[in-house]
Structure 1
Amino acid sequence: MGTRSIIRITGIGLLCLTLGACAPSYRNHGYMPPEDELNQIVVGVDTRASVEETVGPPGASGVVNGGGYYYVRSRMRTFAFRAPDEIDRQVLAISFDSAGVVSNIETFGLEKGQVVPLTRRVSDSAVSNKTFLRQLLGNIGRIGPSGLGG
C-alpha cells in the first residue's frame, strides 16, 4: 500500500467517525408497564399487592404518603457532544381508595408545557396529589447530566 492509499483510508475513516457523531442517539429512562400488563389490572378489584405482582413496584420515589403509585418514563436525545435533551415524559398514576383497592388508572404527558391526560380508565380524575404529578412532569428539560444516572 502506498502513502496515498493510507491517507485516503484514514480520511474516509475520519469522515465516517465525524458523520457518526452527528447522528442523534436516544435513551429511555424509567419504567412504564406495557399495555398488556396494565389491561390485566381491574379497577375496583385489584389491590396494591396484586398491582405490584402484575406490573412491578414503582420506584422508591413513586410512593407518595401511602397514596397512588407513579411510574415515570422519559425519553432522552443526545446529539453529538451536546448535553442530553428530554424530549418526552409520561407518567402512569394508579390511584387507590382507603381500602387499598385500585380506583383509577391514568396516563399523563405534556403538551405545550401543560399536563394533559393521555388515557383514563375512570371518567373522573382520582389523582389526589396533583402537585406531585406536576412536579414529575414539570421538570422536563431541567435535568442536568448529573441527574441522568440510573
Structure 2
Amino acid sequence: MREVGLKIRTAGMAMALVALVGGCSSIRDHRGYLIDNTLLDSVQPGIDNRLSVEKTLGRPTFVSQFGQKDYYYVSQIVKTPPFGRPHTAEETILRVRFDAAGNVVAVDKRGMEQVARISPEGDKTPTLGRHRSLLEDLFGNIGAVGAGGTGAGGAPTGPGPNGS
C-alpha cells in the first residue's frame, strides 16, 4: 500500500516539475506585417504601381515622409524570456521604392544587420546650473522671501505699481 502511495506522489511531483519547466520557456510573438514570399515575388519593378502593390501586399506599415513616398512593411519576432524584458529576435523590413509616376522601381529586403544598438552613457544627464544638495534645495530660500525690494514699513521701493 505504501508503494502505491509513493508511486502516485512521485508521479505527481514529476508532472509538477514538467509543468514548471514548461512555464519557463520563452514566449515568441510576431508583430507587424506577415511577409509572404510568393506575394512578394509577384511585385515586379517596371510593371506594378502603387495601387497594384497595395492590392497585392496590403497597406504598408508606414509611408516615408520625405523624398519619394516609398512603402515600408515591417515584420518583427519578439521573444520574452520568463521574468525578463522582451527583445527583438528577428526583424525584416521590406521597402518598395517608386518613381515619380508611381511605378515600382525596386523592392529591398533588410534584416537585423541594419539594426543599430545604442548604449546610453551612465545613469545621469548633465545639466547646467548650480549643483545643490538636498538640504540646500529644501532650506535655500529661507530668508530670501521678502528680503529685497521693500523700504521702510514694508512699502515697495521700485518705480512700478508693485515696486518692481
Q: CA RMSD in A?
A: 2.4
Range with bigger deviation, 90-99 or 64-73: 64-73
Q: Which has the higher contact order (CA 8 A, sep 6+)?
A: 1
Identity %, equivalent residues: 30
Q: Distance in 1 between matches of 2:91 and 2:112?
A: 7
Partner of 1:42: 44
Helix, strand or coil for the counterpart of 1:54? Answer: helix
Letter in 2 for 1:35: N
Report the TM-score when normalising by structure 1: 0.65
Q: Distance in 1 between matches of 2:34 and 2:16?
A: 39
Deviation at 1:13, TM superposition (A): 2.7
Partner of 1:110: 112
Q: How does 1:63-142 map to 2 (within 5 A)?
A: 63-65=63-65, 67-111=69-113, 115=114, 137-138=115-116
Match of 2:30 among 28, 31, 35: 28
Structure holding more strand per residue:
1
Helix, strand or coil for the counterpart of 2:102? Answer: coil
Q: Distance in 2 between matches of 1:33 and 1:89?
A: 11
Letter in 1 for 2:64: V
CA contact (8 A) 1:95 1:104 kept: yes
Letter in 2 for 1:40: S
Deviation at 1:30, TM superposition (A): 1.0
Letter in 1 for 2:86: P
CA contact (8 A) 2:35 2:75 kept: no
Q: Which runs of 5+ in 1 are unaligned?
A: 116-136, 141-150
Deviations 1:20-40 (A, max 9, x none): 023223222111431111111
CA contact (8 A) 1:32 1:92 kept: no
Letter in 1 for 2:45: V
Larger Rg: 2
Partner of 1:11: 13
Letter in 1 for 2:12: T
Range with bigger deviation, 95-104 or 71-80: 71-80
Letter in 1 for 2:36: P
Aligned residues: 114
Q: Which runs of 5+ in 2 are unaligned?
A: 119-164
Helix, strand or coil for the counterpart of 1:39? Answer: helix
Q: Distance in 2 between matches of 1:86 and 1:110?
A: 9
Cα gap change, 1:26 to 1:92, in 2 (>3 Å): same
